[in-house]
């Protein structure tokens, strides 16, 4: 048991401590407070089961806080004055007992023992709250996942939780761009953020009578209709509440919530439809700027699959040309508006984009491997985009990239010139700057372009060219390592050997020996084969 | 005289629970969760709870001020006066939609309605005892239970029912058949209604292909599994094709909107969209095609009957439509009431319901528990367990159950004690549907084919109303029209607020025995021996001059 003793005098505090030790109570933590401020600071942490309070230290305003504390902990008051009004005040505040100093040790000890027994029997208030929270979460989860099999059980649990009516609509809220915000954060960080927002959501729900729980990354709020509330009123009220929640969370935590409200289902067995609708609406958030409150009632044709029948093929094959890229982008934007207004799942829009991209890759990438790689990379980005704004921005970037690819051949010509330059000069110590100067571009531009076209850096390429040449020279037997190093642009033979070993795994000398051995072996085994063949032929002839 | 144990201090708007109960019933029937169109006070179908919003406000104000020895009179949804009566008398007496018989037709009625002189109140809408769709489901369950009991040893396991129509009424069929362990193949032409039935878990599987549907049904039949298959198609076409292929269901019925060939029924080869266009532009052509279809539809049903299926009309007037369209033998098919319901009613069973005025489901569950523990009735038990698990409360929590007078008295007395002991959070209202022949005279449905030919006699519901008034029900009402229209039915409603008082306890036996007794006497009088036996067993003093 954790005990808090609030008493002005040190002497009295020590006396109380001694009595507590003698009482036989299992005391885990003993905390002291010398004034009312310290007392309430400690008491509001909610960690103390027993409080011994010198009530004479309380001012008029402190009694209200005292009532709050007495709701979750046992409070024993101690006073110096035999005052009837004070006794009444203690009773009203919910004090367990009031003792007058000097304390009658025996009755005080008895009172402490009684407290020990009752707190042992009564679960800790905090544990009780946690259990209730867990029960509520389970209840909400059953409702929103369509696992209700018996209405009476739903009611029994509702009564246990203190609800006298059942919810009929679901509101789901999610932190906008949570994944993006938390991309470089730990899970613990993520949990902390969710908890922080959840506290605000919970305070909101207590204020508005909604039932709130946190299920994974989503805040689920259940709305119970008021008596006589009609459906259109309910939709309006939910939207208002959604807006209020949005504003409160933004003001208090700085996070923006995407909020969606499902339709009304008075039968708890069907409430899961409301949750699913809200979730689908949240995915519709993709179409909107973040933080907008959506209600299912505003999208009567939500995820209307029939619209697929009406959607035309985005473009003719001939329309996909380099000159038409701006037009294509405009068309895709228009398509987005149509699908959004038709209430079509964002997934279809994303799939449309992927289809278009696939067609475009065929026009702008020459090899099948390039097409496939580009489709996979961009496709993943399309699918993972959280909002239409993001996606359109990205798509524009890709378009620009393609537009750059429109001068693909120019790039190739430029790189060809660089390659010629390298091949002609690799035996000298050439640099990126020299090559860039050769093609009249900045070194940064060349580095970027080179990597894009060749899929390796300028330095990597030169090294490979040099090593290739070195291998040729090594096999010729006419040159020493130093000669070779000098002929391919390495001033220092030792430096050449180390680079060679790094690339090929062995030193130039060893490489040369290995190659020679292999050649000799191959020559020998090749001769042996001929002998066998000759024998077989001879045998056949003799037969 | 004992006073009600729940004092006005407990959140009451009225002076006592008797009037508070009625006030809450009115509020409940126009609650958006219960009423179809609360803005226009339409509770269900075309039935209204009160004449106008002003009338509602006036009724509520009057009820708030009503003393326990006063009675409010309501004329077709409009409060007209408060009279001094006695503490034992009803607090509200209402008469709705009644016009002099010679003028009792839609044309005259609509004219009067337009002048603001009357309103159409259907049955439980203007009796303020409508509780949502639970009643429809329970009625359908009882019908299929009766089918199972009469033909298949009490269960539909391994039997398949061919039916059609997934509208408001028809949607109860698959669930009710499943509750009786049967297999249902339901045909519906409107794809949206089929999609809705799948979304709301009314049907298990849907298909456009007859072969696939039949395969599902046959597999389920072989394994004796319950299964609801929704087939998208025109019922008339599907029925004919099944007959041609000699695939014969165990039970055949139909709940398409055949009662309204122009606005509800859809002719063969029409899509829903096409039907909407044609019925507006060329109604005569539409009707011609609908009539041809309905004849084929009923012919196929007759074909199934000849091949040994159990075939019945489920109250949508399809036989009459086919007959009028030229199919003389249409009435070979029987109506569900004389076939399955009348026998139950002759035993004193009809839809009884109770509503928790606290608005808390725990009160209904507590009463459920009492029934489950102490009433030795497997049918009731099965229904209560199903209802607890699957039926959502609309508005004030309520429960429907078919019960006889003895069971009603027993339950109401126990509940009265529970209210007195504060086991329940607030008093409970006991009320009923307008269905048995004592409270309903309706020659096209409830009183069709009475043994003595007394189908059109309208005295009995009036006797029922007067007797319930004499026995001190909290609200009694008399109506005309119901679900079949002006001129075709007369019916009575009654409700009692069980508030835990001694006075209520004293009323209960006479009230329920009287209410159910009128029905038993009416059936006995028409020559039904079971009713005569039940009446005698119940201790009714029947006089036979």
Task: Please report the pLDDT score of residue A531 as a whole number.
Answer: 42
3-state secondary structure of B249: coil
Task: Please report the pLDDT score of residue A72 as a whole number.
Answer: 75
Query: Chain B partners of A154 at a C-beta cutoff of 8 Å?
Result: none
Q: How many helices (H) and strands (E) does chain A have?
A: 23, 10
Checking A319-328 for CB contacts under 8 A at 24+ apart, the result is A320/A359, A320/A360, A320/A363, A321/A363, A322/A364, A322/A402, A322/A403, A322/A406, A325/A399, A325/A402, A325/A403, A325/A406, A326/A399, A328/A356, A328/A360, A328/A399
Partner-chain contact B392 A227, CB within 8 Å: no
Q: How many helices (H) and strands (E) does chain B have?
A: 19, 18
B2: pLDDT strictly greater than 60:
no
Query: Chain B partners of A268 at a C-beta cutoff of 8 Å?
Result: 392
**Tens digits of per-residue pLDDT, B274-284?**
888 888 888 88
**Tens digits of per-residue pLDDT, A474-509?**
888 788 888 888 888 887 888 888 888 888 888 888
Chain B residues with CB-CB distance to A under 8 A? Answer: 31-33, 38-39, 199-201, 359-362, 365, 388-392, 394
Average pLDDT of B222-238?
95
Partner-chain contact B32 A228, CB within 8 Å: yes
B6: pLDDT strictly greater than 50:
no
pLDDT-above-90 percentage for chain B: 74
The per-residue pLDDT of chain A, averaged, comes to 81
Average pLDDT of B201-216?
93
Choose among B199, B360, B365: nearest Cβ to A164: B360
Average pLDDT of B141-161?
94
Q: How far is B32 from chain A (nearest CA, A)?
A: 6
Q: E strands along A183-333, which residues?
A: 211-215, 218-223, 257-261, 293-295
pTM greater than 0.80 (yes/no): no
d(Cα B496, Cα B503) in Å, to the nearest integer?
12
Q: How far is B317 from chain A (nearest CA, A)?
A: 32
3-state secondary structure of B256: coil
Phi-psi region of A351 (alpha: psi -120 to 50; beta: other; left: phi over 0): alpha
Determine which of A148, A149, A152 to mutate to test the interface with B (most B C-beta atoms within 10 Å).
Answer: A152
d(Cα B383, Cα B385) in Å, to the nearest integer?
6
Partner-chain contact B391 A151, CB within 8 Å: yes
The residue of chain A nearest to residue B33, with distances taken between CA atoms, is A228
pLDDT interval class at A355 (50, 70, 90): confident
**Tens digits of per-residue pLDDT, A152-207?**
999 988 988 888 889 999 999 988 878 778 878 788 888 888 888 999 999 999 89
Query: Chain B partners of A227 at a C-beta cutoff of 8 Å?
Result: 31
The per-residue pLDDT of chain B, averaged, comes to 92
Highest mean pLDDT among A509-513, B90-94, B348-352: B90-94
A533: pLDDT strictly greater than 80:
no
The ipTM is: 0.78
B163: pLDDT strictly greater than 70:
yes
- Confirm if B403 and B36 have CB atoms less than 8 A apart: no
The residue of chain B nearest to residue A234, with distances taken between CA atoms, is B32
Task: Please report the pLDDT score of residue B224 as a whole number.
Answer: 95
The pairing of beta strand A74-79 with beta strand A169-175: unpaired
- Confirm if B357 and B21 have CB atoms less than 8 A apart: yes
B210 compared with A294, residue with greater pLDDT: B210
d(Cα A399, Cα B441) in Å, to the nearest integer?
79
Q: Which of B184, B203, B346, B401 is catalytic?
A: B401
Determine which of B392, B396, B397, B426 to mutate to test the interface with A (most A C-beta atoms within 10 Å).
Answer: B392
As given in the structure block, the two tokens for residue B345 are 């009613």
CA B497 to chain centre: 21
Does the active-site annotation cover B401?
yes
Partner-chain contact A151 B390, CB within 8 Å: yes
CA B539 to chain centre: 28
B7: pLDDT strictly greater than 70:
no
Task: Please report the pLDDT score of residue B164 as a whole number.
Answer: 96
Partner-chain contact A230 B388, CB within 8 Å: no
**Tens digits of per-residue pLDDT, A215-244?**
888 899 999 998 878 888 888 999 899 999
A526: pLDDT strictly greater than 60:
no
Q: How far is A299 from chain B (nearest CA, A)?
A: 18
A366: pLDDT strictly greater than 50:
yes
pLDDT interval class at A540 (50, 70, 90): very low
CA-closest candidate to residue A5, choices A491, A27, A24, B293: A27
Task: Please report the pLDDT score of residue A541 as a whole number.
Answer: 40
Task: Please report the pLDDT score of residue A525 as a whole number.
Answer: 67
Residue A173, φ and ψ in degrees, nearest 5: -125, 145
Task: Please report the pLDDT score of residue B477 as a whole number.
Answer: 97
Task: Please report the pLDDT score of residue A536 as a whole number.
Answer: 38
pLDDT-above-90 percentage for chain A: 11
**Tens digits of per-residue pLDDT, A457-474?**
888 888 888 888 898 888
Task: Please report the pLDDT score of residue A539 as a whole number.
Answer: 39
pLDDT interval class at A538 (50, 70, 90): very low
B14: pLDDT strictly greater than 90:
yes
């Amino acid at each position: 048991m954790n005990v808090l003793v609030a008493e002005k005098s040190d002497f009295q505090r020590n006396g109380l401590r001694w009595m507590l030790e003698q009482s036989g109570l299992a005391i885990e933590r003993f905390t002291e407070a010398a004034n009312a401020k310290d007392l309430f600071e400690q008491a509001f942490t909610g960690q103390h089961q027993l409080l011994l309070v010198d009530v004479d230290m309380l001012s008029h305003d402190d009694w209200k806080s005292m009532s709050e504390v007495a709701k979750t902990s046992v409070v024993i008051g101690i006073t110096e004055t035999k005052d009837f009004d004070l006794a009444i005040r203690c009773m009203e505040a919910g004090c367990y007992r009031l003792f007058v100093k000097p304390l009658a040790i025996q009755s005080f000890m008895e009172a402490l023992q009684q407290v020990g027994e009752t707190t042992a029997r009564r679960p800790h208030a905090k544990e009780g709250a946690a259990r209730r929270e867990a029960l509520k979460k389970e209840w909400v989860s059953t409702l929103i996942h369509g696992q209700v099999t018996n209405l009476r059980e739903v009611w029994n649990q509702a009564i246990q939780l203190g609800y006298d009516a059942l919810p009929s609509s679901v509101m789901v809220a999610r932190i906008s761009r949570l994944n993006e915000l938390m991309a470089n954060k730990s899970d613990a960080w993520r949990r902390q953020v969710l908890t922080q927002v959840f506290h605000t959501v919970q305070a909101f729900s207590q204020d508005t009578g909604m039932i709130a729980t946190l299920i994974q990354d989503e805040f689920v709020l259940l709305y119970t209709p008021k008596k006589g509330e009609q459906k259109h009123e309910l939709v309006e009220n939910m939207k208002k509440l959604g807006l209020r929640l949005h504003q409160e969370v933004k003001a208090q935590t700085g996070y923006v919530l995407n909020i969606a409200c499902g339709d009304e289902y008075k039968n708890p067995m069907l409430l899961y439809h409301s949750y699913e609708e809200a979730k689908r609406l949240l995915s519709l958030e993709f179409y909107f700027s973040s933080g907008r409150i959506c209600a299912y009632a505003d999208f009567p044709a939500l995820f209307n699959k029939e619209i697929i029948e009406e959607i035309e093929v985005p473009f003719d094959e001939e329309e996909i040309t380099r000159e038409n890229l701006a037009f294509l982008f405009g068309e895709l934007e228009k398509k987005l508006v149509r699908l959004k207004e038709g209430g079509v799942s964002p997934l279809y829009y994303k799939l449309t984009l992927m289809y278009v991209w696939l067609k475009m890759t065929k026009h702008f990438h020459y090899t099948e491997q390039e097409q496939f790689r580009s489709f996979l990379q961009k496709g993943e980005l399309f699918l993972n985009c959280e909002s239409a704004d993001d996606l359109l921005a990205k798509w524009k970037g890709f378009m620009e990239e393609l537009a750059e690819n429109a001068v693909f051949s120019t790039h190739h010509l430029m790189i060809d010139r660089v390659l010629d330059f390298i091949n002609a000069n690799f035996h000298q110590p050439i640099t990126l700057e020299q090559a860039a100067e050769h093609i009249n571009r900045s070194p940064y531009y060349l580095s970027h372009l080179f990597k894009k076209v060749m899929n390796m850096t300028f330095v990597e390429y030169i090294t490979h060219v040099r090593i290739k040449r070195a291998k040729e020279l090594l096999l010729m037997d006419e040159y020493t390592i130093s000669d070779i190093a000098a002929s391919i642009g390495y001033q220092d033979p030792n430096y050449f050997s180390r680079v060679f070993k790094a690339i090929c795994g062995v030193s130039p000398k060893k490489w040369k020996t290995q190659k020679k051995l292999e050649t000799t072996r191959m020559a020998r085994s090749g001769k042996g084969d001929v002998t066998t063949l000759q024998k077989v032929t001879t045998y056949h002839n003799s037969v | 005289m004992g006073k009600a144990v729940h004092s006005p201090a407990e959140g009451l708007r009225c002076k006592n629970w008797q009037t508070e109960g009625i006030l809450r019933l009115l509020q409940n029937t126009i609650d958006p969760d219960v009423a179809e169109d609360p803005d226009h006070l339409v509770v269900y179908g075309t039935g209204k709870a009160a004449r106008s919003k002003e009338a509602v406000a006036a009724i509520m104000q009057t009820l708030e001020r009503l003393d326990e020895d006063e009675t409010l009179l309501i004329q077709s949804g409009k409060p007209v006066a408060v009279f001094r009566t006695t503490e034992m008398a009803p607090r509200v007496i209402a008469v709705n939609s009644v016009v002099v018989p010679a003028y009792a037709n839609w044309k005259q009625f609509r004219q009067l309605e337009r002048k603001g002189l009357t309103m159409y109140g259907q049955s439980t809408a203007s009796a303020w005892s409508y509780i949502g769709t639970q009643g429809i489901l329970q009625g359908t369950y009882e019908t299929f239970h009766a089918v199972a009991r009469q033909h298949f040893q009490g269960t539909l396991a391994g039997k398949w029912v061919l039916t059609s129509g997934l509208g408001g009424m028809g949607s109860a069929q698959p669930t009710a058949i499943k509750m009786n362990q049967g297999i249902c193949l339901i045909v519906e032409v409107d794809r949206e209604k089929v999609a809705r039935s799948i979304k709301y878990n009314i049907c298990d599987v849907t298909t456009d292909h007859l072969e696939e549907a039949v395969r599902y049904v046959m597999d389920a039949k072989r394994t004796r599994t319950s299964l609801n298959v929704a087939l998208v198609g025109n019922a008339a076409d599907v029925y004919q094709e099944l007959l041609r292929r000699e695939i014969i269901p165990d039970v055949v019925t139909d709940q398409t909107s055949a009662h309204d060939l122009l606005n509800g029924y859809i002719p063969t080869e029409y899509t829903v969209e096409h039907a909407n266009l044609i019925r507006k532009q060329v109604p005569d052509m539409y009707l011609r095609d609908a009539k041809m279809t309905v004849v084929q539809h009923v012919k196929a049903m007759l074909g199934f009957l000849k091949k040994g299926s159990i075939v019945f009309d489920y109250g949508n007037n399809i036989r009459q439509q086919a007959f009028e369209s030229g199919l003389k033998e249409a009435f070979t098919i029987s109506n569900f009431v004389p076939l399955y319901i009348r026998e139950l009613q002759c035993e004193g069973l009809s839809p009884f319901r109770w509503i928790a005025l606290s608005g808390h489901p725990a009160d209904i569950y507590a009463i459920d528990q009492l029934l489950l523990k102490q009433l030795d009735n497997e049918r009731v038990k099965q229904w209560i367990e199903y209802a607890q698990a699957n039926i959502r409360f609309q508005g004030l929590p309520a429960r429907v159950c078919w019960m006889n007078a003895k069971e009603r008295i027993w339950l109401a007395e126990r509940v009265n004690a529970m209210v007195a002991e504060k086991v329940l959070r607030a008093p409970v209202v006991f009320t009923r549907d307008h269905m048995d022949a004592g409270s309903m005279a309706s020659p096209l449905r409830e009183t069709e084919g009475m043994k003595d030919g007394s189908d059109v006699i309208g005295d009995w519901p009036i006797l029922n109303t007067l007797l319930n008034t004499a026995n001190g029900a909290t609200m009694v009402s008399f109506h005309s029209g119901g679900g079949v229209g002006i001129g075709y039915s007369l019916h009575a409603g009654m409700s009692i607020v069980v508030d835990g008082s001694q006075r209520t306890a004293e009323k209960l036996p006479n009230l329920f025995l009287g209410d159910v007794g009128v029905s038993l006497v009416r059936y006995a009088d028409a020559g039904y021996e079971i009713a005569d036996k039940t009446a005698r067993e119940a201790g009714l003093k029947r006089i036979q001059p």
